[in-house]
Amino acid sequence: MNNQKKIKIIEIISKNIKVSSKLINESSCMTDFAKWDSLAHVNLMLELEKQFKKKVSTSKMSDLNSVNKILQFFQSK
């Protein structure tokens, strides 16, 4: 994946779950951060949709529960 895109996604995650981007890596997932709850997750998905102009269906929203899955999803066309 394009490194810049990856950094941007991690920054968006960091902003929405209110956790420093230094603490987030590819293997991080929702359960690792108490602040990454369902409310933060919806806001995160909406922002990622807007930034990368790619629709996230509600079934996909539940599946994208880790940084790795999010990176993979937004990498694919």
Partner 1 sequence: MLFYTLPYLLFFLPITLVLFFYGKFLKIDRKIILILLSAFFYSWWNIYYLPLIIFSILMNYYFYKKITSGNPNRKKNLIFGITLNILLLIIFKYTDFIIQNINLLLSTNISYLNLPFPLAISFFTFQSITFLVNVYDEDLLDVKAKDFFLFIIFFPQLIAGPIVRYRHMMPQFNNESNWMFNKRNFIIGLIILFIGLVKKVYFAGTLSEFVDMGHQNLGELSFLSSWILSLSFTFEFYFDFSGYVDMATGSALMLNIVLPQNFNSPLKATSVIDFWQRWHMTLTYFLTTFIYYPLLKSLKQINFLSTMLITFCVFLIAGIWHGPSWNFILFGAFHGLGLIINHVYKRYLIFNISKFILWFLTFNFINISFIFFRTKEIENIILILKKMFDIKSFFYGDLLIDKLSMKFFNDINLFICFLLSIIVCMAFKNSYELINKR
Q: Provide the binding-site residues for partner 1, judged by CB under 8 A.
A: 31, 34-35, 37-39, 42-43, 46, 57-62
Which one, of 56, 58, 59, lies nearest residue 72 by Cα?
Answer: 56
Least Å distance, CB 20 to partner 1, is 17
Report d(CA 66, CA 52) in Å as an integer.
18
Instruction: Report, in Å, the least distance between residue 62 CB and partner 1.
Output: 4
**Cβ-proximal residues to 9 (8 Å cutoff; 6+ apart), any chain:** 48, 67, 70, 71, 74
* Nearest residue (CB) to partner 1, 42 versus 71: 42
Q: Residue 2 Cβ, how far from partner 1 at the closest point, in Å?
A: 25
